[in-house]
Amino acid sequence: MSLAFLVPLFLLGVAGVVIPIVVHLTRRQRRNVVHFPSLMFLEKIPYQEQRRRRIQHWFLLSLRALALALVVAAFARPFFDQSSGAALGSGGPREIVVLLDRSYSMEIDDQIEQARDAAEGIFADLGPLDRASLVTFSRGAEVVVRSTSDRSRLRGALDTLTAGSGATRYGPALKVAQTILEESTLALGEVYLLSDFQRNGWTGDEGVSLPPGSSLLPIEIGTEREPDNLMVADVSLPRQIVAGRERITPTARVVRRGGEAPTTVSVSLDLDGQEIQTREVTLAPNSAQPVQFQPFTLSQPHTTGTVRLDDNALGADNAHHFVVSPGSSLSVLIVNGAGGSSDPSLYLRGALEISDDGRFEVRTRRSSTIRPVDLDGAAAVFINDVQLDGGSAERLRSFVEEGGGVLVALGQDGGWPASAADMLPGTIGSIQDRLQGRGGTLGYLDYEHPIFEVFSGPRSGDFTGARFYRARDFTPSDSAAVIARFDDGSVALAEVRLGRGRVLLWTTSLDSFWNDLALQPVYLPFVHRLAEHLGGRTEALPWFVAGQVVDLADPDALETAGLVSSEAAGLAEGLDQIALSPTGGNVPLPAGDGPRYLPLEEHGFYTVRQPGTDPDRPFVIAVNVDLEESNLGRVEPDELVLQIEAPTVVDDGSPRLTQAVELQREDQERRQSLWRWLLVAALALFILETVISNWVSRRTTGAAGAVAG
């Protein structure tokens, strides 16, 4: 360890030490004349010029010179160079990135503690010129400490580290490591991956490529054997209306991974924090069992529930949380023509009335006119094969602009008044027959649209079986969106937004005259989706998965989160809110024009309320862990290393190394900050010098004053 200077050029300023001496020797003598009777004797004394210039107060001069030297030294930025030749001899300083897995699987057998110990060991072995970063990761990666040689900072960051609720994803963490190494000025890079190496976290196409000169060093945490893990994989919450009240029959799916012998586990159901029921279930190794609980009546909004298992290897997936609120029925008005013996709405009404949870309240009006009273409380209106008058169309316009939804189904008698033609998503044309072959089919469905989203999965509804023999020709407007087309390319379903609501146009009938869709199994869910979409209903999610984010300023998002519509509107309007995390942390959500994102990082219940209030039934969001993490199958660390492009160590010359050393010196100087102490010492010396010189001056002035007198 030796004393070095970061800016040695400033040491030239030491020449300034001579300033006090020069000032002393060159300053004009003060015009202090003493009248003396005779210089007879003084003139006889051998006079030497040097005497006048001789320095009388060496101590004062030394203080001044020392203070100036300290100031100069402070500007030269001194530091004790702790670098050693050994660090350079081993290939130069290293940029070390420690990737520490804090997914919830790391809580098994205190693996997070082991990972922290391993990281501390790595930081303890840092060379004087090495720099290290600490990156924690689960689903995402977070740079906790970036590129420092300050071991205390690194250790401090480790001290507060705990396992989170996220699942393991190696990709983001390795990408962060890649970025750090690419931006580093140090020649060598080492990435330490501290994880339990769950296979689920690695997809193989992360596209990570560490820069040349760097290497990936996996450190496996935990035991090799796969633990016996039980989890609540899912909870279904089907609703029924019994005696006008909603009843929910929770059914949990308990999964066991690993294990060697059958085991019996206790499964309990908590509602609003109180244990309601307990079931015993026996699971063979690597098996799953459904556990059905007794139904409970749902009367209160934001009722929290948890299905819980006995403690086992992994605790986070032993509980499955959910939040349910009593549902409200959607009021649907069906308008069809008054004439004719057949009922064009037979299938439509029947489909809407079939539901266990009574989600639709259906009213039918047989008339070509719609009265204002008909629209009271209605959320969706089906204009089924009827020609409305202009006044009714204008009433519907107001209804839609205020948030309602209208579907116009064009059958034999259907039509639309020309005065309100701008309400429709296009222009209605003539009737087109598809008589050749077996008629037309639906050739295109927008599966990203909320209506068809539920049918996007395999075996989730087949529209191809439906035959369409007749439909209205339709030319969509520029603002319209075509959601479904027939196989000949003509429009089957189009949508246009009007105000806060929407208008859909179905170019064929909803009964079985022009097509046989009403006879297909997919008809019922299709009609339900139509009604829900028109009514603006969003399916509430009983729980979220850790890592998701909810925008509390978005009413749709709030409805999805289970907040009832009236509360959602109030919350979105913008009052200050605060979210309490499951571990008791506060997440302030101040009011503002922008989004109010609530990151759901912990599993459990997030409570959202206004600061300073304590409502009886606060808005609660349930968060469960990502069950992918419950699969504790491991990937071989070496296999993972091999899949990452193996970099080769390239010594790209000394300038980079020199630059790195310079950076290291600067870092050492910054951490030691000796210049501050030097400036303080210089200030103290200046003060001391001032006090002493004033004292000396006063003493001398006293003698001179006597002369003047």
Partner 1 sequence: MAHTRPRHSAAGTQFLDPAVLGRIGNLELLARTVVDGFLTGLHRSPYLGFSMDFAEHRPYMPGDDIRRIDWKLYARTDRHYIKLFEADTNANFSVLLDLSSSMSYGSHSLTKLDYARYLAACLAYFSNKQRDRVGLVTFDHEVVDYVPPSMKHLDTILHTLDRATAGRPGSLAEPILRITEMLSRKGILVVISDFYEEPDAVLKALGPLRARGHDVIVFHVMDPYELEFPFEEASGFEDLETGEQIPVIPGKLRSDYLTMVNAHLEALEKRFTDNQIDYRLLNTSKPLDAALFEYLLSRERMSKAR
Site membership for partner 1, residue 44 (CB under 8 A): yes
Question: Least CB distance from residue 700 to partner 1, whole Å?
Answer: 5
37 or 655, CB closer to partner 1?
Answer: 37
Choose which of 28, 41, 274, 339 interacts with partner 1 (CB under 8 A): 41
CB-nearer residue toward partner 1: 47 or 373: 47
Q: Is 31 helix (H, G, I), strand (E, B) or coil?
A: coil
Q: Report the nearest approach of partner 1 to the CB of residue 21 (Å).
A: 16
Contact 150, 192 (CB under 8 A): no
CA distances from 496 to 182, 384, 407 (A): 50, 18, 11
Where would I find the H helices in 168-212? Answer: 170-183
Contact pick of 9, 26, 27, 42 for partner 1 (by CB under 8 A) = 42
CB of 689 to partner 1, least distance (A): 19
Mark the segment that binds partner 1 (CB under 8 A) among 13-21, 46-54, 436-444, 677-685. Answer: 46-54
Q: Residue 244: what are its φ and ψ, rounded to 5°?
A: 75, 5
> What stretches of 164-308 show up as alpha helix (H) in DSSP?
170-183
Which helix (H) or strand (E) segment holds residue 58: the answer is: helix 58-75
Determine the size of the site formed for partner 1 (CB under 8 A). Answer: 29
Q: How far is CA 491 from CA 444, 474, 541, in A?
A: 9, 6, 33
26 binds partner 1 (CB under 8 A): no
Does residue 38 touch partner 1 according to CB under 8 A?
yes
Which residue shows structure tokens 């060991």? 121
Q: Does 438 bind partner 1 (CB under 8 A)?
A: no
Please state the closest distance from residue 697 (CB atom) to partner 1, in A: 9
Our CB check for partner 1 shows the closer of 37 and 458 to be 37
Interaction of residue 706 with partner 1, rule CB under 8 A = yes
* Per-residue tokens: 16: 């300034």
> Does residue 51 touch partner 1 according to CB under 8 A?
yes
Q: How far is the CB of 703 from partner 1 (least distance, A)?
A: 4
Cβ atoms < 10 Å from Cβ of 110 = 14
667 exposure class (CB count in 10 Å sphere: 0-12, 13-18, 19+) = middle
DSSP-assigned states of every residue in 485-512: EETTS-EEEEEEEETTEEEEEESS-SSS
Residue placing its CB nearer to partner 1 in the complex, 456 or 701: 701
Nearest distance in Å: CB 20, partner 1: 17
* Number of Cα atoms under 13 Å in the Cβ half of residue 298: 23
Which of 178, 332, 177, 309 is closest to 254 using CA atoms? 309
* CA distance linking residue 314 with residue 201, whole number of Å: 17
Would you count residue 40 as binding partner 1 (CB under 8 A)?
yes
The answer to whether 29 contacts partner 1 (rule: CB under 8 A) is yes
Q: What is the 3-state secondary structure (H, E, C) of 506-527?
A: ECCCCCCCCECHHHCCCHHHHH
Nearest to 381 by CA among 358, 404, 412, 415: 404
518: tokens are 């009403």
Interface segment toward partner 1; rule CB under 8 A; list 38-46, 73-81, 86-94, 685-693: 38-46
Distance of closest approach, residue 692 Cβ to partner 1, in angstroms: 16
Q: Which is nearer to partner 1, 52 or 438 (CB)?
A: 52
Taken in order 283, 288, 290, 291, the sign of the CA dihedral is positive
The region of 47-55, 403-411, 585-593, 675-683 touching partner 1 under the rule CB under 8 A is: 47-55
Minimum distance, C-beta of residue 708 to partner 1, in the bound complex (Å):
10
Identify which range of 25-33, 377-385, 576-584, 667-675 contacts partner 1 by CB under 8 A: 25-33
Query: Which residue of 26, 27, 28, 35 would you call a contact of partner 1, by CB under 8 A?
Result: 35
Element (H, E) at 303: strand 303-309
Confirm or reject binding of residue 703 to partner 1 (CB under 8 A): yes
Tell me which stretch binds partner 1 (CB under 8 A): 34-42, 165-173, 268-276, 658-666: 34-42
Q: Please tell me the distance from the alpha carbon of residue 13 to that of residue 65, in angstroms, as a whole number.
A: 12
Of 215-223, 267-275, 461-469, 699-707: span binding partner 1 (CB under 8 A): 699-707
Least Å distance, CB 63 to partner 1, is 21
Residue 34 within binding range of partner 1, rule CB under 8 A: yes
Angle (nearest 5°) at CA 422 between 419 and 427: 95
Which helix H or strand E contains 190, and what residues bound it? strand 188-195
Q: Is 59 in the site for partner 1 (CB under 8 A)?
A: no
Q: Binding partner 1 by CB under 8 A: which of 27, 28, 31, 459? A: 31
Give the shortest CB-81-to-partner 1 separation in angstroms.
48
Cα four-point dihedral sign 293, 295, 297, 298: positive
489/709 with CB nearer partner 1: 709
Q: How many CA atoms lie within 13 A of 454 on its CB side?
A: 16
Residue 676 CB, nearest approach to partner 1 (Å): 39
Least distance in angstroms from the C-beta of 56 to partner 1:
7
Least distance from C-beta 693 to partner 1, angstroms? 14
Residue 52 found at the interface with partner 1 (CB under 8 A): yes
Contacting residue, 33, 243, 261, 373, with partner 1 by CB under 8 A: 33
Closer CB to partner 1, residue 57 or residue 146? Answer: 57
Q: How far is the CB of 702 from partner 1 (least distance, A)?
A: 8
Q: Does residue 23 contact residue 61 with C-beta atoms inside 8 Å? A: no
Binding window for partner 1 (CB under 8 A); candidates: 104-112, 221-229, 296-304, 698-706: 698-706
Of residues 465, 469, 474, the one with CA closest to residue 507? 474
Q: Are 87 and 127 in contact (CB under 8 A)?
A: yes
Q: How far is the CB of 129 from partner 1 (least distance, A)?
A: 57
* Concatenated DSSP letters of 574-642: H--EEEE-TTS-EEEE---SS--EEE--SSEEEEEE-TT---SS-EEEEEE--GGGG---B--HHHHHH
SS3 category, 686: helix
- C-alpha angle 229/234/235, rounded to 5°? 130
Of 51-59, 130-138, 242-250, 675-683, the segment contacting partner 1 by CB under 8 A is 51-59
Only segment of 49-57, 168-176, 362-370, 454-462 that touches partner 1 (CB under 8 A): 49-57
Whose Cβ is closer to partner 1: residue 36's or residue 59's? 36
From 52-60, 132-140, 508-516, 577-585, span contacting partner 1 (CB under 8 A): 52-60
CA distances for 515 relative to 231, 406, 411, 413, 528, angstroms: 48, 21, 10, 15, 18
Which region among 28-36, 124-132, 452-460, 561-569 touches partner 1 (by CB under 8 A)? 28-36
Using CB under 8 A as the criterion, what x/- string covers residues 281-310 for binding partner 1?
------------------------------
Q: Rule CB under 8 A: is residue 54 a binding residue for partner 1?
A: yes
Q: Which is nearer to partner 1, 47 or 489 (CB)?
A: 47
Q: Which two tokens stand for residue 265?
A: 């586990």
Residues of this chain that bind partner 1 (CB under 8 A) = 29, 31-45, 47, 51-52, 54, 56, 699-701, 703-704, 706-707, 709
